[in-house]
Amino acid sequence: MATDLTTAPQSSPVLDEAVRRRTFAVISHPDAGKSTLTEAMALHAHVMEEAGVTHGKASRAASISDWGEVEKERGISVTSTALRFDYRDVVLNLVDTPGHSDFSEDTFRVLTAVDFAVMLIDAAKGMEAQTRKLFDACRRLGLPVVTVINKWDRPGLEALELFDEIQAATGRTPVAVNWPVGYAGRFTGLLEPGAATYVRHEVVDSGARVAREEAVDGAADRGLDPGIWLEAVEGAGVAAALNGTFEAEQFLAGEQTPVLFTAAAGNVGVRLLLDFLTQHAPAPEQRRDVSGASRPLGSDFSGYVFKVQAGMNPAHRDQIAFVRVNSGVFARGMELHHAQSGRPVSSKYAHHMVGRGRHTATASWPGDVVGFVNASGLHVGDTIHAGPSVTFPGMPRFDPERFRVAHNLDAAHHKRFAKGLSQLEEEGAIQVLRDANGSPGGPVLAAVGELQFDVVVDRMRREFGAEITLDAPLGYDRSLPLPASGVAQMASLPGVEVLYRPDGEAVALFHDRWRQARVQERFPDLFPPRT
């Protein structure tokens, strides 16, 4: 669907600013180079002077977007964060997401707040399990996807083989925006299909700075094996003959995925990617409220909370609500209201985020991400607005599959224990469940994946001063929300346990998928099919 900006009958400050925005998520299977690419983009935009990349994730310095202690220690991304920077005359709002599948719920939240996604694929591994799931999530949300085949400076699969994998797994037609000169592991440069020249790059050790580039006549380049050049030209020609060339309408409709090649650790191909995003990726569109009506971009300010995070600044111990601006202009200090409660929302302490850093947000426009500091009462999925009330659809919640009882190791720190779990539950970092008696033996922590428990234990100690321990996993691996009318029926069934969220909503836990399937068949009114 084409953006409403191009068909606006007249210009306005809001539309002029919105058309300059590109708000997107970088997503991938773990270790495809997502945080490295994010850092390389920041280098090209002069957000930073030198990248922290060394030789591989385990030994490199923490990325600009990896701020948590677990991320720094393990070299993985386990939470999302936003980076706002200018590139040429465009404002990029890049939201880096967790790569690990245990944090897929956080990634899904981010995808609801962006206008398109950049999907990173490891050239040696192709379409991995998490890559397929993320492509499917983008399909369900109607998001256009730009595909980046990364690590082309290392041995990997054939380019055409990767194109076949992408199409078979996603149903989107991959079209080459550029094509590698040289095979994976022997990467010389990038050509645009049909062009007589290619962009030759230098190899930058560890990607510490932007790579120098030059346009070279491929056929006349004496430093290039003629066979390599002919192979690249032929490969690009075959890809175009089979799949066609880039068409903006098909890209926006999710029928095509444009493909670019990079070696992000060496900052190769990153400029070409940024150029493509600024020229062809969609600007913000009108978003639908809960009634289904599209809210014009020029309306009064409205925004959507897609993430709440504490602990980003240990010196201040503050909490930040990440808000995607959906319409209008946000100005610090303006009068705002919380749609769900009607209460006023403080806009005095609002920031634009640059990974671990932040800058005061004096003005923000549709597509921008604003961090509201210590704005009490804001939860994931909430709406804030100026002027007449508007509410956007809430955030879907994943059904947890891992359950462990938490114990406070120091009774003197019970308040810290309770506050920490409450905070982490509000953020969506973990779900906290209790039995009908309030779980005197300890609350049940519920998660999508095991790594979430490690993060919770670490954050409880570092941020809240509460040492906790977790029992062995409970014998359940499925759960579904349960209406109050079904509590008595479920409580009497073997292999099923009923627990409660902090808001009182009941949750049914099942020993395995067979038990869940049998119960759903027996009680279809309690568990209607879910799309």
Which pLDDT score, from 0 to 100, does residue 130 have? 83
Which pLDDT score, from 0 to 100, does residue 76 have? 45
Q: Look up residue 183 and give its two tokens.
A: 């095979």
Q: From first to last of the 531 residues of the chain, give the pLDDT tens digit.
A: 444 443 444 568 999 999 999 999 999 888 888 888 988 898 888 776 554 432 334 434 444 444 445 444 444 444 557 888 899 999 999 987 775 555 677 888 899 999 999 999 999 999 988 888 889 889 999 999 999 999 998 999 999 999 999 999 999 999 999 999 988 878 889 999 999 999 998 766 655 677 788 999 999 998 898 999 999 999 999 999 999 999 999 999 999 999 999 998 888 899 999 999 999 999 999 999 999 999 999 999 999 999 888 766 655 567 889 999 999 999 988 999 999 999 999 998 898 877 566 778 889 999 999 999 877 789 899 999 999 999 999 887 788 899 999 999 999 999 999 999 998 888 888 899 999 998 889 999 999 888 889 989 998 998 889 999 999 999 999 999 999 999 999 988 999 999 999 989 999 999 999 999 999 999 999 998 765
Q: What angle do CA 427, 432, 434 make, to 5 degrees?
A: 155
User: Alpha-carbon distance 458 to 475, whole Å?
Assistant: 24
Please answer whether residues 123 and 154 qualify as being in contact, where contact means their C-beta atoms are separated by less than 8 angstroms: yes
CATH architecture of 294-385: 3-Layer(aba) Sandwich (3.40)
Considering only CA atoms, which of 63, 65, 70 is closest in space to residue 459? 70
DSSP label of 474: P
Which pLDDT score, from 0 to 100, does residue 96 have? 79
Q: Which residues pair with 81 in a beta bridge?
A: 96
Identify the burial level of 279 via C-beta atoms within 10 angstroms of its C-beta, where 0-12 means exposed, 13-18 middle and 19 or more buried.
exposed
CATH architecture of 21-280: 3-Layer(aba) Sandwich (3.40)
Predicted structure pTM score: 0.84
What is the edge-to-edge ordering of all strands in the sheet holding 189-191?
A: 179-181, 189-191, 197-201, 213-217
> Distance between terminal CA atoms of the chain?
22
Helix (H) or strand (E) run with residue 96 in it: strand 90-96
| Inter-CA distances, 215 with 74, 195, 196, 201, 259, Å | 39, 11, 10, 9, 20
Q: Phi then psi for 274, rounded to 5 degrees?
A: -60, -40
Q: Look up residue 305 and give its two tokens.
A: 């909370």
| Inter-CA distances, 78 with 31, 103, 110, 193, 449, Å | 12, 6, 13, 37, 11
User: Alpha-carbon distance 475 to 456, whole Å?
Assistant: 20
Considering only CA atoms, which of 480, 469, 464, 389 is closest in space to residue 427? 464
Q: Phi then psi for 338, rounded to 5 degrees?
A: -90, 115
Identify the burial level of 237 via C-beta atoms within 10 angstroms of its C-beta, where 0-12 means exposed, 13-18 middle and 19 or more buried.
middle
Which pLDDT score, from 0 to 100, does residue 529 have? 77
Which of the four CATH numbers 3.10.450.50, 3.40.50.2300, 3.40.190.10, 3.30.70.3280 does domain 402-522 have? Answer: 3.30.70.3280
User: Alpha-carbon distance 407 to 228, whole Å?
Assistant: 62
Domain ranges of the chain: 21-280, 294-385, 402-522
Helix axes 270-280, 34-44, angle to 10 degrees: 80
Same fold, 294-385 and 402-522: no
Other Cβ atoms within 10 Å of 363 Cβ, number = 12
